[in-house]
Amino acid sequence: MKALFTAACLAVLLVGCNKSADKPAASGGSGAKADPGFGSGPAVAPGKMILHRGNGSEPSDLDPQIVTGVPEHMILMGLFEGLTDEDPKDLHPIPGVAERWEISPDLLTYTFFLRKNAKWSNGDAFTARDFFEAYKRMLEPTLAAQYAYMHHVVKNAQAYNEGKLKDFSQVGYKVIDDHTFQVTLIGPTPYFLSLVNHTSWMPVHLPTLAKHGKPYERGNKWTRPENFVGNGSFTLDQWKVNEVLTIKRNPHYWDAKTVKLDGLAFYPISSSETEERMFRANQLHVTETVPLSKIPGYRKNHPDLIRIEPYLSTYFYRINTTKPPLNDQRVRKALALAIDRASITENILKAGQIPAFNLTPPGTGGYTARGKFSGDLTEAKKILADAGFPDGKGFPPFELLYNTSESHRVIAEAIQQMWKKNLGIEAKLLNQEWKVYLDSQRQMNYQICRAGWTGDYVDPNTFLDMWLTGGGQNETGWSNKEYDRLIGEAARTGDAAARHELFQKAEIILMDELPIIPIYHYTRQHLISPKLKGWHPTLLDHHPYKHLWFE
């Protein structure tokens, strides 16, 4: 027994010494034991083309009108199809359940012509009535759908959602006939067709909902595998909570012949380290992310496995503009200028992130901001002196708040150093648990705090309308009349170029006033088996599953 125990302990110690095997390089090319299929993922065979992917955390539900998270979105993309679908290469709207649509000359009325062969996964015919009923549910006050505001571009939708209007027939949804559905908007919304790709615009099968609970309330059991009915290219197969969720080919899908995969398996893996080990052991074809420490190794030794893709998301610091000295634009600008962003993206993050000098990520729906703040350190020092703090003298100490996380801490420390070295300003770091931090931010109980924003749809509006005076996501106390006017006007402008110009002007104001300090634009990192084909980099990290296949 003793010998066994000693041997076991020795083995453990040996593994410890072997930690160099940790590097993907070593395990990939270390001679005899090298796995020839390193990174090839689980085996696939005809009839068993199952894509195994890491999916972050456990989905909270599969009801498209209730869920709000990215992991849920990744699954729902396979289970449901909206009026439009996403092009696999650049996500531009392509026909979905609607095979074509007409837009009225005033850009306010969209008429969708649904395909006649569209069906639910239980074989029921899909009609315009289904969209009508589903959208009614979405706006039903009793459902309290968090993303109901995505429908507020529709005539009277907000009033109905807030309970001020009782008569749903006045809301801008109309069933013309079984296969024609009409939506009337409150203003020209050039991104409307992209918007309807969002989960909140996916249809649900009301008869099924009524069978398994109260259709207009939460807690309905219709999303259990035995009850589920959807209309996507795949349908729910198994849902083992905290273990795996699998979806399988939907034989009733109108375009089933295009679908090449037989199914997908989504693993809720909260630890990126665990996920990377699973990938290395060929248990996954695609990972949700890559641990920070492994990125350089993969980039160097396995560039064929790691994919780094731009993402519609920006990392920035919010500034509480209501309290001195940060209510002074000059101080905010000095702080923004004194950050060496390239040093953060190249030395800390190392995954191709783009240093940000404005908020909206470049190329968002054809828009790349002109309004970038600029200036060098000399200027930063000068304007700080102008503001009454030469060399940071007399600058009151302040706190930089971030939610507890290794990478936020490292970035905050780097910026703390930069401010100290470049401006002579002392920032104290303060970390809080996620919800405590969110609460502090909401209550404006902070001076500067870390933040991030991911677009809901590919249009600059999703980044810029949040800074309207008193907006729910503003949380900086900043307010600018001209800015409000420009964003409001953009919402009423149909011409794409003129509208983008309004956003340009607005973002110039935002980057001059700097209630926020942009740091970098995110990228997404995945480890992907080379045998998976049809995966294109897209800004929302969506990869429509019906266009993926194995080789």
Stretch that binds another protein, among 376-384, 468-476, 488-496, 511-519 (CB under 8 A): 468-476
Distance from C-alpha of 343 to C-alpha of 339, rounded to nearest angstrom: 9
Q: Is 5 in the site for another protein (CB under 8 A)?
A: yes
What distances in angstroms separate CA 501 from CA 38, 165, 354, 504, 507, one per listed residue?
49, 35, 23, 5, 10
Q: Which is nearer to another protein, 11 or 498 (CB)?
A: 11
Q: Is 144 in the site for another protein (CB under 8 A)?
A: yes
Does position 142 interact with another protein (CB under 8 A)? The reply is yes
Site string for another protein, 19-38 (x = CB under 8 A): x-xx----x-----x-x---
CB proximity list for 339: less than 8 A, separation 6 or greater: 415, 418, 419, 517, 519
Closest separation in Å from C-beta 243 to another protein: 4
Distance CA(318)–CA(450), nearest Å, equals 6
Nearer to another protein, 88 or 268 (CB): 268
Give the residue, chosen from 238, 362, 366, 434, that forms a contact with another protein under the rule CB under 8 A: 434
Residue 225 as a binder of another protein (CB under 8 A): the answer is no
CB of 487 to another protein, least distance (A): 18
For another protein, the closer of residues 313 and 447 by Cβ is: 313
Among 34, 43, 436, 498, binds another protein (CB under 8 A): 436
Residues in contact with another protein, shown as a per-residue x/- string from 190 to 219 under the rule CB under 8 A? ---------------------------xxx
CA separation, residue 546 to residues 114, 226, 237, 253 (Å):
19, 23, 16, 11
Q: Which stretch binds another protein (CB under 8 A): 102-110, 236-244, 328-336, 529-537?
A: 236-244
3-state SS class at 42: coil
Does 13 participate in binding another protein (rule CB under 8 A)?
yes
Kindly state whether residue 224 participates in binding another protein, applying the rule CB under 8 A.
yes
Integer CA distances (angstroms), 289 to 132, 351, 394, 507, in order: 37, 11, 44, 31
Q: Does 163 bind another protein (CB under 8 A)?
A: yes
Fill in the per-residue mask, 484 to 523: x = in contact with another protein (CB under 8 A), - = not in contact. ----------------------------------------
Return the structure tokens found at 478.
């900043």
8 Å CB contact between 233 and 259: yes
Q: Which residues contact 311 (CB under 8 A, 6 or more apart)?
A: 361, 454, 521, 522, 523, 524, 539, 540, 541
Pick the closer one to another protein by CB: 388 or 452.
452
Give the binding range for another protein (CB under 8 A) out of 16-24, 293-301, 348-356, 509-517. Answer: 16-24
Element (H, E) at 206: helix 206-211
CB of 371 or CB of 515, closer to another protein = 515
- Nearest distance, CB of residue 350 and another protein, angstroms: 22
Taking CB under 8 A as the binding criterion, the range among 100-108, 431-439, 484-492, 497-505 that sits at the site for another protein is 431-439
The DSSP letter of residue 215 is T
Residue 405 makes contact with another protein by CB under 8 A: no
Query: How does DSSP assign 507-549, residue by residue?
Result: HHHHHHH-SEEEEEEEEEEEEB-TTEES----TT----GGG-E
Residue 485: which residues within 8 A CB-CB, separation 6 or more? none
From 86, 133, 475, 507, residue interacting with another protein (rule: CB under 8 A): 475
Bridge partners of residue 306, in order along the sequence: 527
273 contributes a contact to another protein by CB under 8 A: yes
* Residue type at position 226: E
Give the contacts of 155 (CB within 8 A, at least 6 positions apart). Answer: 170, 171, 172, 184, 185, 186
In the set 104, 271, 417, 469, which binds another protein (CB under 8 A)? 271
Residue 342 in the binding site for another protein (CB under 8 A): no
Is residue 89 within 8 A of residue 118, CB to CB? The reply is: no
Q: How far apart are CA 310 and CA 524, in angstroms?
A: 6
C-beta of 371: minimal distance to another protein in Å? 24
- At residue 118, the 3 state secondary structure works out as coil
3-state helix, strand, coil in the chain (%, to 5): 35, 20, 45
Q: Which of 257, 470, 472, 551 binds another protein (CB under 8 A)?
A: 472
- Of the candidate spans 197-205, 261-269, 322-330, 360-368, the one that interacts with another protein by CB under 8 A turns out to be 261-269
Task: Give burial (CB, 10 Å; 0-12/13-18/19+) of 244.
Answer: middle
Question: Least CB distance from residue 524 to another protein, whole Å?
Answer: 17
Distance CA 301, CA 280 (A): 14
Q: x/- contact string, 36-75, with another protein (CB under 8 A)?
A: ----------------------x-xx-x--x-x-------
Structure tokens at 93: 């709207």
Binding-site member from 43, 125, 210, 281 for another protein (CB under 8 A):
281
* 192: nearest Cα among 76, 103, 118: 103
Asked if 15 interacts with another protein (CB under 8 A), we say yes
Q: Does 166 bind another protein (CB under 8 A)?
A: no
Q: How far is the CB of 452 from another protein (least distance, A)?
A: 7
Residue 113 or 147 with smaller CB distance to another protein: 147
**Contacts to another protein by CB under 8 A:** 1-2, 5-6, 8-9, 11-16, 18-19, 21-22, 27, 33, 35, 58, 60-61, 63, 66, 68, 141-142, 144-146, 148-149, 162-163, 217-221, 223-224, 240-243, 267-271, 273-274, 277-278, 280-281, 283, 433-436, 438-440, 442, 452, 472-473, 475
